[in-house]
Every structure is written in structure tokens, then in C-alpha cells.
Amino acid sequence: MIQYFLPEITILAGILVVLILEIVLGRKGFLATLVSLLFLLVAGFFALRDLSLISPDYYKGLGAFINEHQNLVYIIKSLRLGVVERFMDTIMIVGTIYFVLLSYDYFRSRASGDYQFLTLSALLGGMLLIKSNNWPTLLLSLEILSFSLYALVAFRKDLFSYEAAGKYFFLGALSTAFLTMGIAFLYLAYGTIDFGTTFQRIYTLAQAGFPREVIILSSIALAFIIVGFGFKLSAVPFHFWTPDVFEGAPTPTAGFVSTVSKTAAIGLVFAIFQGLLVNYPALWKGLILWLSVITMLVGNIAALRENSVKKLLAFSTIANAGYVLAVVYAGGLEAVKAAIVFMLVYTITTFGAFAVLQITSEGNTHIENLRGLFQRKPDLAFALAALMVSLAGIPPFAGFFAKFFLAFSMVQMNHPLLAIWLFFNGAISAYYYLRVVYYAFQRDDSEKELPSSRIPYAVAVVSAVLVLLMGLFPDAYTSFVDKVFGAFFGL
Amino acid sequence: MKINPYFVVLLMTVVGLVIAYGVLAISMFLGKRNPYREKLNPYESGVKPGRWDYKANIQYYLTALAFLIFDIEVVFMYPWAVKVMDLKFFAFIEMLIFILILLVGYIYIWRKGGLEWQ
């Protein structure tokens, strides 16, 4: 049975090894970084191997194991395995590799085993979160993810960092409280904590008609759950923490919050709404639609007048969460594929942008600070331009195709207006993304020196090249996604 | 004779009360008495009650946090202990892994000086 959970087990082993190294050898930042990178690569390899081996029969062995060991059913059934979850895992592992590379440069001598321990714990929390198959597992893995993140945000150990971590912690705790309350109401309505059983009951009730009290209880539950998820996703009107936390957090951690943690949240929202509650669309469809429409608009409008690049990327995160929420509303198999491609492209692009930010804006994230980037480091300026243009969704970069797939899946599910709204918002966002590029190509006469940091430099350039290549040859990865989905569902 | 199943609970309560109060009573009758001010102070988990502006040592919270983790570890062991015979070897290995993970955490706290009272 172990062979189905190899990526998770690898990460868990990585956590233990990093901690044991820290215990035995003391603080060895370079070694810890190397070890955690190794474990991440192995976990990524296992996740990809899982995906390439997948077939309709792939999980039969797991099913047979569950049938043989009925007494263990509650232990095994707390996690759900599937192709969507594995794709999300892969994206999160890619994001974490970026994060480990960038934070090694960011912390330099202060890098330590504890930091890698927190990183890998956050990743494991995210990986378990999207696979959780009952409410306690969901809450537990959500807390593993969140608590590691609170500590990572505070890790720079100065006042700004503590302030950001404090805000993040209080709002995160509040949102978890809301979520728990919602879960309690759902339990009251359906009498079970297990997703499979809840799904069955909703299915049966959907055929026969929902009784009045179930409707009332579910509605209250959903109000609470949406608040809880909204905080995690930084959907408008629950987005206020995002710019503040990004501003105070170490730059790589801000990247982690906006990519890996968002990927986990998106996977979770897909699992809950398009999985668990899919037979009860009257309950959540309208809410998710308005949430996504408003999140796109407010995220983009707020970014227009933002002068801090880090906060600008925070608002861009909010807007992008809105785009993906729209396909959660639209639904369908194409939507899931589009979301996977979008999150992959978004992770690469955003972390590339954060890498540039890490070089140019140490301590000062004002957009004026980008002036003269082209003069001093022309290749970095071009990389930034490619990444920003990709985020704005302009061809031939990967960001365009990612957005195009999202819109395509919406049109396929008969929501053309939503697709138009998405491209309208993309047009708004082009202004502030290109404004960053504009400043990067301005002349600057001051005698400023950019720090020579090789790792973020390489990361930024590699990301820019990747974004360009992924835009020129979108078939290379979309055909893989198509193939795996086809193999899994036996199409 | 048919015994009410809850008779056992009653019996256990009674025996528990007898032992607890019995020991107290024995020491009350047989022990020496030497009351002085510090000894008569009410005392609860390291904090003197009765003063609202009492500042607790930060070390106290660190210890409390470490205590909490291992306290919860035991909570997880209760349901496991009830079911371990049904779950067989699998559950045994699972619990070993669980304890191993916590053990690493424990050694980490120890090595980082979390248990020292500076």
C-alpha cells in the first residue's frame, strides 16, 4: 500500500532527516538546504512517476487493500488519491523548490535546518490538505500548513516580520474558527464527518428533495465555510491581510504564500465544491460566482494605484485567485485541467518575479527603486519584462495560454460572459504589470549598486526562459495533462 | 446474580475516593505539622493566585508548550490502545512511527535548550 503514498512519505522522511541533521550537526544551512532540495526532487520524481503510470486500474490495488482490511477503513479513508491531487502536488513541489533556492540566498548565513523543517512541513500540510477525505484530516493538515507559514513569515526576526506574522496568525486563526463552525453545522446537517458518506447523503437527498432543516443548516454552514476558505484564498472581501503580510514577510515567503499555499487552497476548493457539494449546486454556485467576479475586479483595481511592488504582487495574487475561482464555478473536466495548467504557469511566473524583486528591492519595495535596472542588469530587466507580460496574459508567453485555457473551459460550460469578464480584467491588469516594466527600463543616474546574488539571478532568468518556451510550445505540457487525465478516466 | 454494568463504575469511584482521601487522612493523623507562610500559600502550576498583574516567566510558557505537545501525544494513544488488538501489526508500526516523529521533536527541543530553566 505504501507505493501509493511515496511523495508524502518522502517529504515526511525529509522533515525528519533535516531535523535530525540539525540535532546532530548543529546549524548547517547549506547542508540542510541541499538535503531538503534532494528530498523535494525525489518527491517530485515520485509524483511524476505516479502520474505517468496512472491508468483506470492504477488505484485498484488500494481498493483491494481497503476491502481486505475493513478494520483499518477509517485510517486509510482519511486520504483520497487521484490524478488532480497528484498534479497539484507536483505544482506545490515545484513552488517549494523555488522557495528553498530563493530563501537560501535570502538568509545566507542565517539559513538553518529549522527553516527547511518548516518549509517541508508546510508542503506536507498542503499535500495532505488537498487529499483530505474527512473534516478532521482537513482541519489538521490546514493547521500544519498554516502554522508552518506563520513561523516562516516571522523568520526574518525583525519588527516588520513579526508584525506581518502577527496579522497573518490572528486572521488565520479567525478563519479557521469560522471554518470549524461551518464544519460543525455541516455535521449537524448530514451526521457524518466522512466526505464519501456526506457525498452519498447529498446525492440521495438531491433525488428526493432536501428537507427544510437540512437546507437551513447547510446554508449556515456554507456561509461559515466560505468565510474560512475566503481568507485562505484571499478572495475579496476577505483579502485585507494579503498586502500587509506580503509587505512584512521575507520575499521568498511572500512568494510561497502566493503560490504554494494558494495552490493548496485552490485544490481544496475544487475538492469541496466540485467534489463534495457538486450535487447541491443551489447552495454554493451563486456565492462562488460573485466571490470570483468581485475578487477579480477589486484585486485588479486596487493594484492600479499601488506603488510598492510587493503589494502589487499581493493584489495580483488576489486577482489570480479570482480567475481560478471562476472555473471552480464553471466546473467540468476541462476546468480542472485549465486550473492545473494555470497554477503551474502562475507558480513559475510569480516566483520568477519575486526572484527579481529579491535582487532589486532589498528593504525598499517602492516601484521607483526599479529604475535603472535595464542600465545595470539588462538581462534581468528583460527577464522581468517577460514575466510581467506573461502575468498580464499577452501572447506569446505562457500566461496567455493559461488564461486562454481558463476562458476556454468557461465557454465550454456555457459561461461566455464570465470568459469576457476574465479578459476584461486581464486588460486592466496589463496596466500595472506593464508599469513595473516601464520603471525597470527608465534611466537612473544615481550610483546605486545591485547586490550580486547568483541564485535569484539564475532563478529569474530560468523562469523567464521557461515562461517563453511554455508559451511557444504549450502542447508540450498540455498534452501530458490531457494524456494523464485520459488515462485516469479511461477516455 | 445479575449485576448492573454501571456497578463497576460506582465501585471504582468509591475505591478511588477511599484511596485518595484515605492517604490524606493518614498523613493528617500521623504526620508532623510545621506550617509557615510559604507553605500555606495556595499554589497552582507555578503562578501565585490572587494578583492580576503577575508576570509569568517566559520559560514557563516554553515548558507549557512542550508539555502540551506530549500531553496530546498521549491523547492519541488512548483510542489506539482500545483498538490495537483489532488493528494488529499495522497499527503497532503506525504508533511506533508516530512516537519516533515526536521523539525527534523532543530531542530537538532538548538540544535547542528549550528545557533549560535559564
Q: Which residues of B touch A20 (CB under 8 A)?
A: 104
With CA atoms as reference, report the closest residue to A380 among A434, A300, A437, A428: A437
Q: Is the pLDDT at A411 greater than 80, yes or no? A: yes
CB atoms within 10 A of CB A261: 26
Q: How far is CA A267 from the centre of its chain?
A: 8
Q: Is the pLDDT at A51 greater than 70, yes or no? A: yes
Reported confidence tier of residue B61, pLDDT bands at 50, 70, 90: confident
Q: What percent of chain A has pLDDT over 70?
A: 98
| Inter-chain residue contact A71 with B108, CB threshold 8 Å | no
Q: Is the ipTM of this complex over 0.90?
A: no
With CA atoms as reference, report the closest residue to A366 among A420, A312, A315: A312
Q: Is the pLDDT at B109 greater than 90, yes or no? A: no
User: What sign has the CA pseudo-torsion A143, A148, A150, A151?
Assistant: positive
Rounded distance between C-alpha atoms, residue A100 and residue A115, angstroms? 9
| Inter-chain residue contact B108 with A69, CB threshold 8 Å | no
Cell readout for B84 is: 490495537
| Inter-chain residue contact A23 with B105, CB threshold 8 Å | no
Cell readout for A356 is: 527579481
Please, which residues 60-89 of chain B have a Cβ atom closer than 8 Å to chain A? 83, 86-88
Q: How far is CA A188 from the centre of its chain?
A: 31
Rounded distance between C-alpha atoms, residue B7 and residue A453, angstroms? 75
Mean pLDDT across A358-376 = 83
Reported confidence tier of residue A451, pLDDT bands at 50, 70, 90: confident
Rounded distance between C-alpha atoms, residue A296 and residue B21, angstroms? 68
| Inter-chain residue contact A19 with B87, CB threshold 8 Å | no
When the pLDDT of each residue in chain B is averaged and rounded to a whole number, the result is 82
Mean pLDDT across A317-327 = 94
Q: Is the pLDDT at A81 greater than 90, yes or no? A: no
Rounded distance between C-alpha atoms, residue A96 and residue A91, angstroms? 9
Rounded distance between C-alpha atoms, residue A48 and residue A81, angstroms? 14
Cell readout for A165 is: 506574522
Task: Pick A72's closest partner by Cβ from B87, B101, B111.
Answer: B87
Reported confidence tier of residue A389, pLDDT bands at 50, 70, 90: very high
Q: Is the pLDDT at B55 greater than 80, yes or no? A: no
Which pLDDT does position A36 carry in this prediction? 94
Chain A closest CA to B115's CA: distance in Å?
A: 15
Chain B closest CA to A225's CA: distance in Å?
A: 27
Chain A closest CA to B95's CA: distance in Å?
A: 12
Rounded distance between C-alpha atoms, residue B76 and residue B102, angstroms? 12
| Inter-chain residue contact B108 with A16, CB threshold 8 Å | no
Cβ within 8 Å of residue A229, ≥6 positions away: A179, A235, A265, A268, A269, A272
Q: Which residues of A touch B91 (CB under 8 A)?
A: 72, 75
Spans of all domains in chain A = 2-489
Reported confidence tier of residue B38, pLDDT bands at 50, 70, 90: confident
Structure confidence by residue, pLDDT tens digits, A238-292: 999 999 999 989 999 999 999 999 999 999 999 999 888 888 888 899 999 999 9
Q: Which residues of A touch B111 (CB under 8 A)?
A: 23
Which pLDDT does position A403 carry in this prediction? 93
Inter-axis angle of helices A135-153 and A113-131, to 10 degrees?
A: 150
Chain B closest CA to A147's CA: distance in Å?
A: 14
pLDDT-wise least confident of A7-21, A107-121, A157-171, A356-370 = A356-370
Task: Pick B104's closest partner by Cβ from A19, A69, A72.
Answer: A19
Mean pLDDT across B23-30 = 89
* Structural domains of chain B in order of their starting residue, each with its CATH number: 56-118 (1.20.58.1610)
Rounded distance between C-alpha atoms, residue A48 and residue A50, angstroms? 5
* Category of A396 on φ-ψ map: left (φ > 0), alpha (ψ -120 to 50) or beta: alpha
* Contact by Cβ (8 Å): A283, A218: yes
Written as one letter, the residue type at A211 is P
Dihedral (Cα; A167, A170, A173, A175), 10-degree rounding: -70
| Inter-chain residue contact B104 with A72, CB threshold 8 Å | no
| Inter-chain residue contact B101 with A16, CB threshold 8 Å | yes
Q: Which residues of A touch B105 (CB under 8 A)?
A: 19
Rounded distance between C-alpha atoms, residue A339 and residue A130, angstroms? 14
Cβ within 8 Å of residue A382, ≥6 positions away: A464
* Contact by Cβ (8 Å): A122, A261: yes
Which pLDDT does position B1 carry in this prediction? 67
Chain A closest CA to B74's CA: distance in Å?
A: 17
Which pLDDT does position A108 carry in this prediction? 80
When the pLDDT of each residue in chain A is averaged and rounded to a whole number, the result is 90
Identify any residues that bridge with A366 across adjacent strands, giving them in sequence order.
Answer: A308
* Contact by Cβ (8 Å): A112, A29: yes
Structure confidence by residue, pLDDT tens digits, B4-16: 878 888 999 999 9
With CA atoms as reference, report the closest residue to A145 among A263, A313, A3, A314: A263
